[in-house]
Structure 1
Amino acid sequence: MKAKGFFIAGTDTGVGKTWVTTHWLRSLRESGIDAVGMKPVECGGRDDAIAIREAGDGIATLDEINPVPLPEPLAPAAIDGAPRIDFDKILANFDLLSRLHPPVLVEGAGGWLVPLDRERTMADLAVALGLPVVVVAANRLGVLNHTLLTVRAIVSSGLECRAVFLNDLDEALRSDDLSRESNARVLRELLPGVSVIERDPALLMKLI
């Protein structure tokens, strides 16, 4: 049975989750698959959700894609006076979109354990959705540790990590980072059951 969608997690903030989500979504739609994206929780504006809506050809409303917009660019648990994040509302939006436009690419906010409040993290939202996970990581020195920690946490949560996408960020600024040439190979050796994909989000099509 095909998945209703995928949860796109990051090893950190700023690793390119939205770039991967939007490019993967465009590839799906260009191939004739009527997919859509979600950014259930976004902090500090709605730029990511708007980009995801545009990549999905506007077939879902901004409120369907991003049911929980938060005003400040902070972890939700750090925003004074922020309302408790309504998982039921997020799940209802996902159920609607997954019936109409499967698969749904659900992009998380920040890293796997970003606190949503005192009791819950982004991982709890991913578990509630029950989707296979794609991890986005920046291809740079330190990514092995960050990725292995994230994948271990995903598996400990009872979810399947389907793939790791190594994103080449600021390539010109890190031309002397030798790890960029070996990170994918090492991750493939250490994570034999996980697809490790580089550079082109269209290659994530093979997960469908």
Structure 2
Amino acid sequence: MSQPAYFVSGIGTEVGKTVASAYLQLALGADYWKPVQAGDLDFGDRDRVRQWTGLPADRYHPERYRLRTPASPHYAAHLDGLSIELDDFRLPEPTGRPLLVEGAGGLLVPLNETDCMIDLAARLGLPVILVSRHYLGSINHTLLSLEVLKGRGMELAGIVFSGGENPESERIITQLSGAPVLARLPELPQIDPTTLQGLLDAAPLALPSRSPQ
């Protein structure tokens, strides 16, 4: 039987998506794959997640595209003389473990002239875990992201709130959307395996299994 897999996206950039991916990887005992890394090639998101979880190298799959410029993938690829195509992406070979796929930025970050991150999630056939962070305007950004998923007929696994608490923002987001909250990750002064495991011990993740299409 295939193992569950999820596509981790955010309501924007710098919302804690990579930290959430590390937490989710530990929680699920999953492998990790970042299909597109734009910039930070010497120490990218795959390296960060591995450092934060302390998991062995065989839990991490190589990126399909490694782009030099920290920019939208469509533009970073253009600067590298490349063109990203959806047909270039295949899920890694199954390992018997769940899989987390971390996107770049938000759902409508362009991969090329016609496709966005949400199209990659759809091609891979994965439900989306949406990472939200509280800031002025984040209610709108979160609800817009949820509406886009709904409008495309995409499956939402749930929301992870990352950073400082804002109970009223969480309340109105869940009230208006009906989206389940999978986890609340506080602002972490230090990120390491012990800290992440402590979060799991305090509040274990309850995420239903789901196999890739």
Q: Please give the TM-score of this superposition, normalised by the length of structure 2.
A: 0.78
* Cα drift, residue 12 of structure 1: 0.4
Distance 1:114 1:145, change over 3 A: same
- Following TM superposition, by how much is the alpha carbon of 1:85 offset from its aligned partner in structure 2, in angstroms? 2.0
Pairwise CA distance, 1:117: 1.1
Higher helix share: 1
Corresponding residue SS for 1:120: coil
% identical equivalent positions:
29
In the other structure, the counterpart of 1:148 is 143
Q: What is the alpha-carbon distance in structure 1 between the residues aligned to residue 158 and residue 62 of structure 2?
A: 23
- C-alpha deviation, 1:89, in angstroms: 4.2
- Tell me the equivalent position of 1:14: 14
Please say if residues 11 and 146 of structure 1, whose CA atoms lie closer than 8 Å, have aligned partners that are also in contact: yes
Aligned to 1:175: none
Separation of aligned partners in 2, 1:205 and 1:89 = 32
Alignment partners' CA distance in 1, 2:182 and 2:206: 12
AA matched with 1:180: N
Query: Which stretch shifts more, 194-203 or 135-144?
Result: 194-203
* Aligned 1:88-167 pairs, distance under 5 A: 88-91=87-90, 94-96=91-93, 99-167=94-162
How many residues align structurally? Answer: 188
Deviates more, 1:1-10 or 1:20-29: 1-10
Q: Contact conserved, 1:11 with 1:136, CA < 8 A, in 2?
A: yes
Shift of 1:26: 1.9
Moved more, 188-197 or 39-48: 188-197
Structure 2: give runs of 5+ residues left out of the alignment.
187-198, 209-213
The Cα shift of 1:86 comes to: 4.4
Q: Where does residue 172 of structure 2 map in the other structure?
A: 186
Cα 1:193–1:45, aligned 2, differ >3 Å: closer, same or farther?
closer
Does the CA contact (< 8 Å) of 2:37 and 2:45 recur in 1? yes
The two structures, once aligned, show a CA RMSD in angstroms of: 2.4
2:4–2:98: 8 Å Cα contact kept in structure 1?
yes
**Shift of residue 124, structure 1, vs aligned partner:** 0.9
TM-score, normalized by length of structure 1?
0.80
